[in-house]
Chain A
Amino acid sequence: MTRTILVAGSGGVGKTTLSAALGVAAARSGAKTLVLTVDPARRLADALGMEQLGNVPTETNQEGLSAAMLDASAAWDALVDRHAPPDVAERLHASPYFRAIADRFPAGQSYAACEQMADHIDERFWDVVVVDTPPAEGGIDFFLAPGRVRRLVGGRLLRWLTGASLPGRRRLYSFTARPALRMADAIVGGPLLEEVAEFLLDLRALYDGVTRRARQIERQLKRAKTLVVTTAHPSPLAEATRFFTELPDAAGKPTSVAFNRALPPDWAAASSTDSGPLAENLKRWASESQRQLDAREAFGAQHRVEPAVIPWVAEAPTSLSQLGQLVRSAQGLDLEALGAVLAHSPGPP
Chain B
Amino acid sequence: MLRWLGVFERRVLIVTGKGGTGRSAVSAALAIKAARQGQRVLAVAMTDVLGLALHLGVPQLEYKPVQTRPGVWALAIDRTAALDEYIHLQLHLPRAAPLKPVARTFSALADTVPGIRDAVTIGKICWEAWSDEWDLIIADGPPLGQIDSYLRAPEAIAALVPSGRVQEQAAAMEELLADPNESGLIVTTLAEELPTLETNENLALFDERQSCQVAEVMVNGLLAELGAEVPLGQGPLRDAAVLHQQLHEGQQKWLSELPQGIQLPYLFGMLTAPEVAARLSEELP
Contacts and interface: CB of A to CB of B under 8 A. Distances in A.
Interface of A: 10-13, 39, 41-43, 96-97, 100-101, 103-106, 135, 137-138, 152, 155, 157-158, 160-161, 176-177, 179-181, 183-184, 187-190, 192-193, 196, 199-200, 203, 233-236, 238-239, 242, 263-264, 266-267, 270, 272, 274, 276-279, 281-282, 284-288, 290-291, 294-295, 312, 314-316
A290 B269 contact: yes
B261 interface: no
A101 B112 CA distance: 7
A42 B193 contact: yes
A217 B247 CA distance: 40
A12 B20 contact: yes
Contacts of A135: 19-20
B271 A291 contact: yes
A137 to B, nearest CB: 7
12 contacts: A100-B114, A177-B105, A183-B98, A189-B163, A189-B164, A190-B164, A235-B20, A278-B226, A278-B237, A281-B228, A281-B244, A290-B269
Given A12-B18, A180-B101, A270-B237, A288 B271 contact: no
Contact of B237 (A188, A279, A284, A314): A279
Given A138-B50, A316-B193, 8 more contacts: A12-B19, A138-B48, A235-B20, A267-B240, A272-B237, A278-B237, A282-B237, A290-B269
B227 A277 contact: yes
A235 B247 contact: no
Contacts of B172: none
Contacts, number: 195
Interface string B38-57: 00000000011011001100
A266 B51 CA distance: 31
Contacts of B247: 314
Contacts of A100: 113-115, 156
Contacts of A285: 236, 240, 243-244, 268
The SS class assigned to the A binding surface is: helix
Contact of A235 (B47, B51, B93, B112): B51
B6 interface: no
Given A12-B21, A97-B113, A315-B250, A189 B167 contact: yes
Contacts of A312: 243
B162 A190 contact: yes
A263 B249 CA distance: 18
A104 B118 contact: yes
B284 interface: no
